[in-house]
Structure 1
Amino acid sequence: MAGIVVVFDFDKTIIECDSDNWVLDQLGFTDLFNQLLSTMPWNSLMDRMMKEVHDQGKTIEDITEVLKRTPIHPRIIPAIKSAHELGCDLKIVSDANIFFIETFLKHHGVRELFSEIHTNPSFVNEEGRLRIFPHHDFTKSPLPCNTNLCPPNMCKAMVIEKIQASLSTEKKLIYLGDGIGDFCPSLKLKETDFLMPRKDFPVWDLICQNKKHIVAEIHEWSDGGELEHILLHLINSIVSSMEENNNNNNNGNSSSHLVSAVDCKLQTISVTAH
């Protein structure tokens, strides 16, 4: 293994849209979703919407076909395959749900490339209806999230902390995301880690406003082509750095080689750090 863990968000990072919105839009349930949006948390509403979809005669096969058509930049799947071929451990941390994510990944032939998927659980019940449940049961206890930016069902920072606790100290983490919920885990990354926010998306704005609270190297990207180029460049640079360190250590030299950072001119404001 390359000693690198790559963590992807799913919506608007691997795919070009929000998977919940995409499915409901394609099946014709957008108006009802918008009417109910202010009445309950998003995750709970998605479970309710899957009941409406089922009651209106839409099947799991209908949902699956919609998911297969989910828009994606043509360089994303090659980037995932290349990162895996280079020895990276690939994971997903997403506020979508396991049925949507796995259906999409299986369709594109890359499900087996991901060692873990942390997301909201879901399953098809005996009636053929998709049930969606929260990653964290917020009805029993609130999430201990210090930023107050995360949805009640999932704080990705908690997931990242669990991933970090399972890794050896020399492992480096690359985190890719786009949304508000991706800011909280960004605060958990170490100086030896790398953050790849999608430029001009909500997480980018938060990072620009709170740069002093981010210690990981920041490498922004705008589309799938840039994601592929930057991600593979980072991986190759990290691997080269590790090989050089190993050679130096073998020669009795303890000097280290640092990966050069992309210049990121960001403004800062004061916030309460995680």
Structure 2
Amino acid sequence: MAGIVVVFDFDRTLIDGDSDNWVVTEMGLSDLFRQLRSSLPWNSLMDRMMKELHSQGKTAEEIAECLKKTPLDPRIAAAIKSAYELGCDLRIVSDANQFFIEKILEHHDLLGCFSKIYTNPTFVDEEGRLRIFPYHDSTLSPHGCSLCPTNLCKGLVLDDIYASAPEGGKQKFIYLGDGGGDYCPTLKLQDTDHVMPRKNYPLWNRIFSDPALVKAAVHEWTNGEELEKTLLHLINTISTKQNTGGSNSSQSNSSDCKLHTVVVYA
């Protein structure tokens, strides 16, 4: 639907697991990962893991093949395709990385559904080694957000999405996430927006520790089936109000959050 922007986190939201952990485990890096975990930031640690794979003679193509086995709920894939076909603008904001995300989405024929992916950039260097870099270069311009890791503030990314939105900022946003890093952008959502936290995950816990801080209406989900039903219901509801000249009232949305009204549509 024109005027609806759907923003997905990736790990444990779009896919049912963590892409970094998947590669580390499936490609035999768990011991080295544990040894270095306390000494390196996560983003730098994953770049170091790619160096180790390169030293073992593993290619970027082999990493891509490993990523094809990452679990993705078919109901979530169906929800993405339906939202895209309905005309929504789909984005990804993730602390994974470009290579992992794109290879997984390509495998499931979903990459073309997303207008933009905001994540840690990657490239394969002249030696064939996959390199992973931070989205924000903290050595040049620290983002200064205490809620987010130094390599990526999702709240700043959401600010950029809001600022670049056409139609005079009249878009309705739906944000789906699970982790602590999704809390900062959740706080930036407006009272005409919606947030879909995965139940009993860090974002859900943060929201309901003080729900008055969140302006957006809150709709929890636990699995792919609930995500699909809730997301498509929201899209259809917003579209109906737009087509009839109505709008999501700020009063009803704010009361959803303040009263802990969490909606899962059967």
Q: Calculate the TM-score normalised by the size of structure 2.
A: 0.92
Query: 1:2, CA displacement in angstroms?
Result: 2.3
The partner residue of 1:161 within 159, 162, 172 is: 159
Q: How does 1:1-274 map to 2 (within 5 A)?
A: 1-145=1-145, 148-167=146-165, 168-245=168-245, 256=247, 258=249, 266=260
Query: SS where residue 83 of structure 2 aligns?
Result: helix
The Cα shift of 1:138 comes to: 1.4
Aligned residues: 256
Residue range with higher mean Cα deviation, 172-181 or 162-171: 162-171
What amino acid sits opposite 2:156 in the alignment?
A: M
Identity rate of aligned residues, in percent?
60
- The letter for the 1-side match of 2:147 is L
Render the CA deviation track for 1:140-196: whole Å, top value 9, x for unaligned: 332221xx2311100000000000011132110100000000000000000000000
Partner deviation per Cα, 1:117-136 (whole Å, 9 max, x = no partner): 00000011111110000000
Preserved CA contact (<8 Å) 1:241 1:258: no
What's the secondary structure of 1:165's corresponding residue? Answer: helix
CA distance in 1, matches of 2:177, 2:24: 23
Cα 1:5–1:196 shift into 2, 3 Å: same
What RMSD over aligned residues (CA atoms) do the two structures have, in Å? 1.8
In the superposition, relative to structure 1, how do residues 256 and 205 fare at CA in structure 2: closer, same or farther (>3 Å)?
Answer: closer
Distance 1:256 1:182, change over 3 A: closer
Q: Residues 56 and 183 from structure 1, CA distance in 2 versus in 1: closer, same or farther, beyond 3 angstroms?
A: same
- Partners of 2:248 and 2:64 lie apart in 1 by 47
Q: Contact 1:5–1:88 (CA<8 Å) still a contact in 2?
A: yes
C-alpha distance in structure 1 between counterparts of 2:130 and 2:41, whole Å: 18
Q: Which runs of 5+ in 2 are unaligned?
A: 261-266
Larger Rg: 1
CA displacement at 1:257 relative to structure 2: 5.9
* Structure 1 SS opposite 2:63: helix
2:182 & 2:26 partners in 1: Cα distance? 26
Q: CA deviation at 1:116?
A: 0.4
Mind listing any 5+ residue stretches in structure 1 that lack a counterpart?
Answer: 246-254, 267-274
Offset from partner CA, 1:197-248 (integer Å, 9 cap, x none) = 1110011100011211100000011011100000000000000000111xxx
Whichever residue aligns with residue 188 of structure 2, its letter is K
Residue 58 of structure 1 deviates from its aligned partner by 1.3
User: Which residue number corresponds to residue 248 of structure 1?
Assistant: none
1:10-62 Cα distance to aligned partner (Å, 9 max, x none): 00001011111100100000110111011011101111110001101211121
